[in-house]
A and B are shown apart, each in its own frame.
Chain A
Amino acid sequence: MHPTSPAKPLRAYGDREGDGMVQLSFVLQLPPSARAREAAKRFAEAHGIEEPIVATMEAAAEGFAFFVVYGHSKHAVDAASIDVPEVRTEALSREDIEHRIKTRLGRKIVVVGACTGSDAHTVGIDAILNYKGYAGDKGLESYKGFEAYNLGAQVENDQLAARARALKADAILVSQVITQRNCHKENGRALVELLEREGWRKDVIVLFGGPRVDHKLGLELGFDAGFGPGTKPSDVASYLVEQLCSRPASVP
């Protein structure tokens, strides 16, 4: 990627560069024994850990042993060759956000959000949309420039789409907390497909959020962006402002 800086393989850092120290904890379905200890060692070696030390072996339940293993991981990564899509948005202040919406858009940004499918955990969507916000950062509801609708939990994709359409939403926010058997991906993808079938996917910004979400996953599923853990309402607001309030008018 950068020919001037030769790729430098990165190993895990314990207390010396390149020592590769990692710890691994896991359960094997074996009672503790000398054989179990050896099995844990070989298990670690199979993961590329050299000179594994089984730091503890305890009976976690009948027939199950819990292990902590330390060792030198032989693996290395070439960080320079990695290309990770990131949401590149300048973090705007509250005043900037309000000002840009007012002067450049001249109307409120309408946002509709929900936890879709069977997901009943509204903590994420609440944090972004509700007045209270998250970590001291007030939610979109608190901005004069946003009109935020939080449909809450267990909303079906077709209900969300219908509501968003009726409200002429600029953006749809989908939050998925439950990720068992990748149900979050299926739900997310299904919404995008629905919008495409209905023929208005391009007219709306669709954002995906949740503790197991990142921008890459959002893009993969057909969203405009993905927001992971730690996202603040102002991050989402800044993104939307950039998308909606700076699209040059000259583009046909």
Chain B
Amino acid sequence: MATVPMDVRKVARCREIAAEIADDVQGYIDAHTTVGVERTILRAYGAEGVDDQGVPLVNLAVDRYREAGLLGRGIATYVGRALLGGATTLQDAAERVAFSPELDRGEGGPGVDAVREALRPHTEAALARIDKARNEREALKRRIAPGPTPQKYVIVATGNIYDDAVQAKAAAAAGADIVAVIRATAQSLLDYVPHGPTTEGYGGTFATQDNFRIIRRAVDEASEECGRYIQQTNYSSGLCMAEIAWMAAVERLDMLLNDAMYGILFRDINMCRTFVDQYVSRRFVARAGIVINTGEDNYLTTADAVEKAHTVLSSQFINEAFARRAGLREGQMGLGHAYEIDPWLEDSFLLEIAQAQLVRQIFDRHPIKWMPPTKHKTGDIFFAHVHDAMFDLVGVTTKQSIELLGMFSEAIQNPLLMDRYLALKATRYVFGAARHLGEEIQFKPDGIVARRAVQVLDEALALLEEVRRDTIWEAIAHGAFADVKRTRTGGKGYAGVLERDPDYCNPLLAALEKTS
């Protein structure tokens, strides 16, 4: 069995430090809420619809109370009071919150306990809706087993959800296990979730609840046809990460891209906002049994993959610590990493193996997500195909759980049907041909692979110590991850962060927190 040396005391030390780093932030999270969180709660209670301008009801309701300076008590407060004030349904209550002529300033009338009581059946219904989807998924997976690991993950991205559905089924037929509909590029910075099925989008297709449903139907059909459970994934990231997590929970998505720090680093979303949003999104994800995919692979697209390999590992420990605090089980933590070393560097393959094997051993119960080369891909598709094959070889040898397939057209376009077909075919070959390679070989105890693994863990431990000393807020401010620097109050969405009042009311979040 090919393993690399791994000092378990150092790994334990990394986890302890990451826990301290996350605890520091958790104190902040527990004292704050965001417009995104409050909209998620409204959606989860069943409020839906948009006004004649296409603005979601949940935005209208939440923005109204934020502008009035009243949102620190939680939107649930006002919904509950509307119910007690005669609203006939939850939807009616939400509409009153958004549109009633008089703003409810929360003065007099029913108190927090009465509000909680009025919301109780709705809180239970919200949980039941998530549980129903989870139970359906589990039943389906018992009947139709998923494919073997590494599970083959491909993306479709036509911009038109109906074309995406065709492409998703084609990908499943060609051997894909997981289908992601890549999101339109602008969506991460929208502070609302678009509504309805969409047929126009640049760089991808909007994540909407209807679009989730359309793809779910297509991949369920594909599961039946292929006799293999096909998983659906999307992006719980950006300013609406929590709302999308809830949508995914009830529409039975299997996975979500969800990272505690990605939005901060790569979309310049404010860190306070992201930390609060990621926590609440993960509370829903935990309950729904969804597997998250974290985004550490992205670090290596801006920072050097050899010099900064340890930043990926440090971040994985931090993502794990945050995920734990949101109630995720290890089996739900698809920590990400990538094959991004310059292919022309001598022994680059060995360095890739070292990192992949190290991550596999450290996170041995986690469905690790293995990402393909992108940074060093050029328009030479023939070379790119070889490059991807080497990546596949590392993936199968080191037993990665989820592998996003490399596309030879990576540097040119979103993948075409034939690009995915050829990637799946090549991967099927490599995975089959080298299925048990990892069990047959050993790495030299003091060879290049072993020494590299030791070095990366040592550097990751040192970085974690630094981050703890500085706190994560400061560490991000001076570019500890991905060479990107962000400040605590900078970035998008900071205005949507609010301190919780002492009588903050959020029975649904409290219920999610209690169950894990």
List of B residues within 8 angstroms of A62 by Cβ:
169-170, 173
A154 touches B417 (CB 8 A): no
- How far does the Cβ of B165 sit from chain A's closest Cβ, in whole Å? 13
Residues of chain B in range 420-453 having any CB-CB distance to chain A below 8 Å: 421-422
26 A-B residue pairs with CB within 8 Å: A26-B418, A27-B417, A60-B174, A60-B421, A61-B170, A61-B173, A61-B421, A62-B169, A62-B170, A62-B173, A64-B170, A66-B418, A118-B184, A118-B202, A120-B189, A123-B302, A132-B303, A152-B268, A154-B185, A154-B189, A178-B203, A180-B414, A181-B159, A211-B412, A229-B378, A229-B379
Other than the known A61-B171, A180-B203, what 9 A-B pairs have Cβ atoms closer than 8 Å?
A: A27-B418, A62-B169, A62-B173, A66-B422, A120-B267, A121-B185, A123-B302, A154-B185, A211-B412
CB closest chain-B residue, reference A29: B417
Contact residues in B for A153 (Cβ distance below 8 Å): 267-268
Query: A119 an interface residue at 8 Å Cβ cutoff?
Result: yes
CB nearest neighbor in A for B378:
A229
In this assembly, does B348 line the interface, its C-beta being within 8 Å of a C-beta of chain A? Answer: no
Considering the chains assembled together, what is the distance between the CA atoms of A107 and B489 in angstroms? 33
Contacting residues, chain A, for B483 (C-beta < 8 A):
132
Per the 8 Å Cβ criterion, residues 278-297 of B in contact with A are: none
| Contact, CB under 8 Å: B185 / A178 | yes
Q: Is the CB of A183 within 8 A of B202?
A: yes
Query: In the bound complex, do residue A180 and residue B159 qualify as a contact, i.e. CB atoms below 8 Å apart?
Result: yes
**Chain A interface (Cβ within 8 Å of chain B)?**
25-27, 58, 60-62, 64, 66, 118-121, 123, 126, 132, 152-154, 178, 180-181, 183, 211, 229
| Chain B contacts to A: CB under 8 angstroms | 159, 169-171, 173-174, 184-186, 188-189, 202-203, 267-268, 301-303, 375, 378-379, 411-412, 414, 416-418, 421-422, 483
Closest residue to A67 on the B side, CB-wise?
Answer: B418
Q: Hey, which chain A residues are within 8 Å of B302, CB to CB?
A: 123, 126, 132
Q: For B422, list chain A residues within 8 Å (CB).
A: 66
Of the candidates A25, A26, A152, A181, which one forms a contact with B202 in the assembled complex, judged by CB atoms under 8 Å apart?
A181
The complex places the Cα of A154 from the Cα of B302 at a distance, in Å, of 18
CB-defined contacts of A183 to chain B, threshold 8 Å = 202
- On whether the beta carbons of B411 and A120 are closer than 8 Å, the reply is no
Q: Which residues of A sit under 8 angstroms from B378, Cβ to Cβ?
A: 229
Contacting residues, chain B, for A181 (C-beta < 8 A): 159, 202
Give the distance in Å from the alpha carbon of A62 to the alpha carbon of B171 in the complex.
10
Q: Chain A residues near B412: list those with CB within 8 A.
A: 211
User: Complex Cα distance A58/B189, Å?
Assistant: 41
- Rounded to whole angstroms, the CA-CA distance of A236 and B159 in the bound complex is 33
Taken together as a complex, chains A and B put the C-alpha atoms of A154 and B414 apart, in Å, by 19
Question: Which of B171, B202, B303, B379 is the one whose CB lies under 8 Å from A178?
Answer: B202
Q: Is the CB of A27 within 8 A of B416?
A: yes
Taking CB atoms, residues of chain A closer than 8 Å to B416 are: 27
Among B188, B418, B483, find the residue whose CB has the most chain A CB atoms closer than 10 A.
Answer: B418
Which residues of chain B are near A123, meaning CB under 8 Å?
Answer: 301-302, 375
Task: Across the A-B interface, give the 5 residue pairs with the lowest CB-CB distance, nearest first.
Answer: A61-B170, A118-B186, A60-B421, A120-B185, A178-B203
CB of B270 to closest CB in A, whole Å: 14
- Contacts A61-B169, A118-B203; A25 near B418 (Cβ below 8 A): yes
- Which residues of A are found within 8 Å of B421, using beta-carbon distances? 27, 58, 60-61, 66
Q: Which residue of B has the minimal Cβ distance to A61?
A: B170
Chain A nearest CB from B408 CB (Å) reads 11
Q: Which residues of A contact B174 (CB under 8 A)?
A: 60-61
Structural contact, A120 and B186, CB atoms closer than 8 A: yes
Query: Which chain B residues border A229 with CB–CB below 8 Å?
Result: 378-379, 411
Contacts of A119 in B (CB 8 A): 185, 203
In the bound complex, how far is the Cα of B415 from the Cα of A61, in angstroms?
15
B159 / chain A contacts, CB cutoff of 8 Å: 180-181
Query: CB-CB < 8 A to A120: which residues of B?
Result: 185-186, 188-189, 203, 267
Which single member of B173, B185, B303, B411 contacts A118 (CB below 8 Å)? B185
In the assembled complex, how far is the CB of residue A28 from the closest CB belonging to chain B, in whole angstroms? 10
Chain A residues whose CB sits within 8 angstroms of the CB of B171 once the complex forms: 61
**Bound: A14/B185 CA distance, A:** 41
Report how far A126 CA is from B174 CA in the complex, Å: 37
Given contacts A118-B185, A120-B185, A229-B379, contact A60 B418 (CB under 8 A): yes
Inter-chain CA distance A58–B173, complex, in Å, is 13
Most chain B CB inside 10 Å of its own CB: which residue of A123, A154, A180: A180
For B169, the chain A residues whose CB sits under 8 A away are 61-62
Query: CA separation between A119 and B202, bound complex, in Å?
Result: 8
Report the Cα distance A154→B263, complex, angstroms.
14
- Determine how close the nearest CB of chain B comes to the CB of A79; give it in whole angstroms: 21
Task: Name which residue of chain B comes closest to A126, CB basis.
Answer: B302
Minimal beta-carbon separation of B104 from chain A (angstroms): 36
How far, in whole Å, are A154 and B239 apart by their CA atoms in the complex? 14
In the complex, the chain B residue whose C-beta lies closest to that of A212 is B412
User: B residues within 8 A CB of A27?
Assistant: 416-418, 421
B202 to chain A, nearest CB (A): 5
A58 to B412, alpha carbons, bound, how many Å? 24
User: Once the chains are docked, how many angstroms separate the CA of A178 from the CA of B186?
Assistant: 11
A104 to B32, CA, bound (A): 55
Closest to B189 in A: A154
Q: Using A152-B268, A211-B411 as known contacts, say yes or no to A61 and B417 having CB atoms under 8 A apart.
A: yes
The interface residues of chain B lying within 8 Å CB-to-CB of A26 are 418
Nearest Cβ in chain A — how far from B259, in angstroms? 15
Question: Which residues of B have CB within 8 Å of A154?
Answer: 185-186, 189
Docked Cα-Cα span, A123 to B173, in Å, equals: 34
Determine how close the nearest CB of chain B comes to the CB of A118; give it in whole angstroms.
4
CB distance from B241 to the nearest CB of A (A): 15
**What CA separation (Å) do A183 and B186 show in the bound complex?**
13
**What separation, in Å, do the CA atoms of A183 and B159 have in the docked complex?**
13
Q: Please give, as numbers and ranges, the residues of chain B lying within 8 Å of A118 by CB-CB distance.
A: 184-186, 202-203
Residues in B neighbouring A61, C-beta threshold 8 A: 169-171, 173-174, 417, 421
Q: In the complex, A66 Cα to B423 Cα: how many Å?
A: 13
**Docked CA distance A126–B375 (Å):** 13
The residue on A at minimum CB distance from B304 is A132
Complex CA gap A216/B185 in Å reads 27
Residues in A whose Cβ lies below 8 Å from that of B303 = 132
Is A64 in contact with B417, judged by CB distance below 8 angstroms? yes
Most A CB within 10 A of own CB, among B303, B375, B416, B421: B421
Cα–Cα, bound, A123→B301 (Å):
8
List of A residues within 8 angstroms of B379 by Cβ = 229
How far, in angstroms, from A212 to B301 measured CA to CA in the complex?
A: 20
